[in-house]
Structure 1
Amino acid sequence: MPGDELVPVSHFTATRAITIEADPELIWPWLVQVGFRRAGFYTYDLLDSLGEPSAEKIPPEWPHPRIGDVTAPMTGRATPSTSFRVAAAHRPESLVWSKPDSSWAWQLTRLPLGRTRLVTRLKQRYRPSPSVILTVTLLEFGDFPMMREMLQGIKARAEQRDDQLDHT
């Protein structure tokens, strides 16, 4: 996967995928706007966005990620440990986010009949710290249901196709 080299020693690696009935160009905008106080995470809003619903339309605020841009903030205050930065962006084929000891990659593969296979991979290296037990617990037990819901949320939004851009 793109970005695998960013975390060569990974204690946690999770690869997930979903097939979406939409072209990569309709999925890409949902990926580049992920994050707290952005479009959300398209998952369980109470857990990821303090109860604020994830976007149902594509707001125009974050249309074109550039290398080094803060992306997918996990909290209101973006810090190197709570927010990823764009490490690579090849619209609409792949997007890679990274932060110290972690990478999150997205790969979109065009399929016949206007479909796309969306594959995501999260890699995490654990380092001894007071919060490592919480980090390990959240990743090891929380990743599967949260990522499953996120992929389904992206799928539902990309497949809706009807006037997805928010022009308000």
Structure 2
Amino acid sequence: MRVLPVLGIAAAVGAYVRWFRPWQLTWGATPEEVARAMPGDELVPKPTFNATRAITIAAAPEGIWPWLVQVGLGRGGWYSYDILDNLGRPSARQIIPELQNLAVGDILPMSPDGKHGIQVQRIDPPLSMVWGTPGDTSWTWQLEPSSDGTTRLISRIRARYRWFPPNLAFSALVEFGDIWMMRKMLLNLRKRAETVPL
């Protein structure tokens, strides 16, 4: 009888590795977008988590950039599930002029007290931005305009998991929960850029 639970767990792990993990690590991205090098990759040369997600937005980079540059806890929010990642405060539904001047070295807050965050490593308005901590985490945003007036918004997150408490819990959260937050964020960025006039 104990064999059945073990087989069930093995089947679940196998299904995760075979189908779910590849889907969640590449949601919306083309094989070429996933395979190519991007700015910020050098910050985490040997990641244990490497996700490239993308979405097509019916707007020029200049219409998307103001939404992207104002993200962060206590700033414009994360455009995802606000109850989870923005302390229940709604993410911005308009451009906030005072949050448009992000610069290298600035910290995007990820905790209520502002003590924890991710640093801006590189910024090239309105085409790319890299946040991260060398050797630990990088988060790259790339905006690529097309001749038809749309833009590919590509996000890449690379991280090195820490396999000891309390970081183990955070690593598990990233592995299993990041896709849902990231997918919602990309969809909401598209909605705002396509429907809210600048």
Q: What is the TM-score of this pair, normalised by structure 2?
A: 0.77
**Is 1:69 aligned to residue 106 of structure 2?**
yes
**Unmatched runs of 5 consecutive residues or more in structure 1:** none
How high is the sequence identity, in percent, across the aligned residues?
51
Question: 1:83 touches 1:99 (CA, 8 Å); kept in 2?
Answer: no
Residue pairs, 1:106-145, within 5 angstroms: 106-145=141-180
- Deviation of the 1:64 alpha carbon: 2.1
**1:27-67 per-position Cα deviation (integer Å, ceiling 9, x unaligned):** 11111111111110001010011111000001112212211
* Equivalent residue in structure 1 for 2:114, among 64, 78, 83: 78
Q: What is the TM-score of this pair, normalised by structure 1?
A: 0.90
Equivalent in the alignment of 2:79: 42
Which residue identity does 1:47 align to in structure 2?
L
C-alpha distance in 2, partners of 1:27/1:38?
Answer: 16
C-alpha distance in 1, partners of 2:52/2:182?
Answer: 10
Equivalent in the alignment of 1:15: 52
Give the secondary-structure state (helix, strand or coil) at the position aligned to 1:42: coil
Moved over 6 A (4+): none
Equivalent in the alignment of 1:157: 192
C-alpha distance in 2, partners of 1:104/1:60?
Answer: 23
C-alpha distance in 2, partners of 1:127/1:85?
Answer: 19
Question: 2:138 touches 2:159 (CA, 8 Å); kept in 1?
Answer: yes
C-alpha distance in 2, partners of 1:93/1:33?
Answer: 15
**Unmatched runs of 5 consecutive residues or more in structure 2:** 1-37
Higher relative contact order (CA 8 A, sep 6+): 1
Aligned length: 160
Give the secondary-structure state (helix, strand or coil) at the position aligned to 1:22: coil
* Equivalent residue in structure 1 for 2:123, among 89, 97, 117: 89
Which residue identity does 1:67 align to in structure 2?
V
Give the secondary-structure state (helix, strand or coil) at the position aligned to 1:152: helix
- Deviation of the 1:149 alpha carbon: 0.2
C-alpha distance in 1, partners of 2:68/2:164?
Answer: 31
- Deviation of the 1:128 alpha carbon: 4.0
C-alpha distance in 1, partners of 2:57/2:47?
Answer: 28
Question: 1:39 touches 1:55 (CA, 8 Å); kept in 2?
Answer: yes
**1:85-138 per-position Cα deviation (integer Å, ceiling 9, x unaligned):** 110001111100012511100000001222100000011112343212211211
Higher helix share: 2
